[in-house]
Structures are given as structure tokens and as C-alpha cells.
Amino acid sequence: MSEASAIEVCIAGTGSYLPEKILTNEELSTFVDTTDEWIFTRTGIKERRIAAEGEFTSHMASKAAERALEQAGLAAEEIELIIVATITPDTLTPATACYVQQKLGANKAVAFDISAACSGFLYAMKISKRMISSGAFKNALIIGAEKLSAFVNWEDRATCVLFGDGAGAAVLRAAGPGEGAILATEMGTDGNLTHLLNIPGGGSACPITINNAGDHLASLSMLGKEVFKHAVNRMKEAAEKVIARAGLEPEDIACVIPHQANLRIIDAIADRLAVPNDRVFVNLHKYGNTSAAAVAIALDEANREGKFKRGDKIVLVVFGAGLTWAAAAVRW
Ligand code: UT7
């Protein structure tokens, strides 16, 4: 489907929030059978953030949102649409976006969540771009936020070393002349591969009961090697599609912002896209994999660190449970 539309949509502001508590690889290896050496060489992760007790996904989401709103110069009451991408909602219902709406005082906004795992923030970007370019909404606040520490089996070294907590946000609005634009977006799903990465318990298929409460069924479960293979292929394809649709060449791209799951995956993507490593943004050494929040936090950090300037072309690309994947090409 053509992405041409009368109303262009720009990213007017970004924000992020990371909880204060840092859990280093060394600290982890005091209670799980692992080492800093294994984690760093296999993933590139050195440490991750852990939300405080009583600090929920909606708290982190709201703090990231406030920063994005401030940068966009928009008051919370002006926001018309809030989409929170998360797999670790405060409650199964209502949506975390409803708590965020209440916390921000964004009383005019329609608010709902989407569940697309690590791809959720770019799914939200595509949905809200369409909503704005169709004229249905003037602006949108999109947020990726996760409290994965609450859904990790801290006895399973194959998964618990990988994940962390945090939130990232962006404000999208109709663009004026000469402003930036979301040039192209892509998203995809392969529901045949749900078994590769999931949280098996806690839903209607497998409620947590007194009989299975000790089985860690409400924790992330992953076949890492399989996921790795699909991640590289799907992210490459998705990124190539938006680069081509936006009429770009690899040398036109100022910054690639990939999902932050594994440095080896990121390096493989950079290699396949023929983009030099110094134009690929990486922060997973500090935060680990924060699922839907990862690309949103990375976008905000890259923006605030001046990795690109007005008019530069950037590419975001993600991959996650589902399996799902997505990409976006943006003129800043
Ligand atoms: O965000 C959604 C997308 N997620 C991803 O993209 C994740 C993709 N997958 C990965 O990043 C990698 O597959 C992992 C980092 C998860 C695992 O790396 P790997 O190179 O695929 O290792 P492996 O699972 O094959 O494990 C290799 C060995 C095993 O031991 P044996 O069987 O060779 O004796 C594991 O038991 O490493 C062992 N191992 C560990 N050792 C120390 C697994 N986890 C650990 C650990 N510390 N934390």
C-alpha cells in the first residue's frame, strides 16, 4: 500500500526513563551460575536497570512521556492519542495506557495498549502515523515500556541475564513545511513461531493456580539460537524495504537504531545493510534487552546525544516475540 498522504507526520520530541537501580553482570553472577565474561562476549550486555518495588510499567512510561512532551513543547492535555507498547502491563486490564493517561492528566486522549513484544514501539509508530495522516488525530504519544524484571525467572541463566526495565517515548504530530517526516514503515508477523519466545502462563491458556505457582510459567521462555537466526534475517529484510521505499542508499543513512537484544545481531545487521558500525546506535551494554522500550530509549538517547540533526535520515528496525518485526525510515 502506498504511504503517500497529504499530511506528513514528524517526530516532535523523544524521552526516556531508566530506573535508578543498576544490576551488573558481576552482581548477577553471585546468585546465578554465569559470568561477566559469558554475558558480555555472547550478548554485549554489561549491566541492566531494575525497577524499584512499587515502580510499575505505567510509572516508567509516564516519566518517559513527560520528557518527550517537554521536548515537543506539547502539554499533556493537548495529546489526542496514547499508545503504550508493552508485554509487561501493570494489569491485564485495563490497559497500561489508561494509567498513563491518568498520571499525565492527558484527559482528552484515547488510550490503549498494543502487544507486539520488542516490535511494539514501531508498530505503534506505524498505527499512529496512519491515524494522524488520515486526519483522525492531530498528534499521538507512543511509548515502549517494560518491567521485565517481574517476568523473568531469576533462576534461569539462559534468560535472566538478558533483560532489563525501562521506558522510551515519542510525540508524533502533523508536520509543517520543512519539518521532518516518517518516510516509510514496515511491519510483519509470523505466528507459526510463537513457541520460540513467549510467556506461557498467566493468560487464559494457562492461568496461574495454586498447583502450578512454583513452575515459573509466567516468566519469559526463549529458544535463543532459533530466535537469533530469524532476528537477523527479518530485521535485514524489513530495514531494506523501508530504505528502498524511502528512496535511500546505505550511505544516506546518518544513524541506524536497531532493537537492543544482542550485539552480535546488531553487528550482523550493520554488515548486511552495509552501514558502518559507527553509524549504528548501541546502548544495550547499559540496559540489556528492554523489549518494546529498547528502540524507544535508543532513539531518545541518540537524539539527545546529537547522533543526527534536522534533515538527516535515520532507520529504526526491531524484532521480537510473535515472531514480529518492524522498521521505519525517518527524515529528522
Ligand atoms: O528481544 C527479542 C529477541 N531476542 C533475541 O534476539 C535473542 C536472540 N538470541 C541470543 O541473543 C542468543 O541466542 C543468546 C544470548 C540468548 C544465547 O547465546 P548462544 O550463543 O545462542 O548460546 P546458547 O544458548 O547456545 O548456549 C551456549 C552455552 C550452553 O552450554 P553448552 O550446552 O554449550 O554446554 C548454555 O547452557 O552457554 C550456556 N549458557 C550460559 N553459560 C553461562 C547459557 N546461558 C548462560 C549464562 N552463563 N548466562
* Domain map (residue ranges) of the chain: 9-179, 182-331
Res. 216: pLDDT tops 90: yes
Res. 260: pLDDT tops 90: yes
Find out whether the beta carbon of 34 lies less than 6 Å from any atom of ligand 1: yes
Q: Phi first, then psi: what are they for 270, rounded to 5°?
A: -55, -45
Say if residues 134 and 5 touch (Cβ distance below 8 Å): yes
Mean pLDDT of 75-80: 98
256 vs 245: CA distance, rounded Å? 16
Which pLDDT band holds residue 2 (cuts at 50, 70, 90)? Answer: very low
| C-alpha of residue 251 to centroid of ligand 1, in Å | 33
DSSP 268: H
Identify the CA nearest to 148 among candidates 275, 23, 50, 287: 50
> Which top CATH class is 9-179?
alpha beta
> Could you tell me where the DSSP H helices lie in the chain?
25-28, 36-43, 57-72, 96-104, 120-133, 157-160, 224-245, 263-273, 284-287, 292-304
SS3 annotation, 175-200: CCCCCCEEEEEEEEECHHHHHHEECC
Find out whether the beta carbon of 40 lies less than 6 Å from any atom of ligand 1: no
| The residue to which cell 533462576 is assigned | 155
pLDDT at 6: 73
182-331 shares the fold of 9-179:
yes
Counting ligand 1 atoms within 8 A of each CB, the residue from 87, 228, 264 with the most, and so the one to mutate, is 228
Residue located nearest, by CA, to atom 26 of ligand 1: 158
| C-alpha of residue 287 to centroid of ligand 1, in Å | 18
Q: Tell me, what amino acid is at 186?
A: E
Find out whether the beta carbon of 158 lies less than 6 Å from any atom of ligand 1: yes
Find out whether the beta carbon of 261 lies less than 6 Å from any atom of ligand 1: yes
Q: First-to-last CA distance in the chain? A: 23
More confident residue, 4 or 210: 210
pTM of the predicted model, to two decimals?
A: 0.97
Q: Tell me, what amino acid is at 159?
A: T
Q: Phi first, then psi: what are they for 206, rounded to 5°?
A: -155, 75
**Percentage above 70 pLDDT, the chain:** 98
Mean pLDDT of 86-108: 98
Specify the ligand 1 atom closest to the Cα of 43.
15
Query: Measured between alpha carbons, how far is residue 98 from residues 16, 92, 126, 149, 325 in Å?
Result: 19, 12, 20, 22, 26
Say if residues 125 and 109 touch (Cβ distance below 8 Å): no
pLDDT at 78: 98
The chain-wide mean pLDDT, for the chain, equals: 96
Sign of CA dihedral 57, 217, 26, 118: negative
CATH architecture of 182-331: 3-Layer(aba) Sandwich (3.40)
Res. 229: pLDDT tops 70: yes
Annotated catalytic residues are: 118, 259, 289
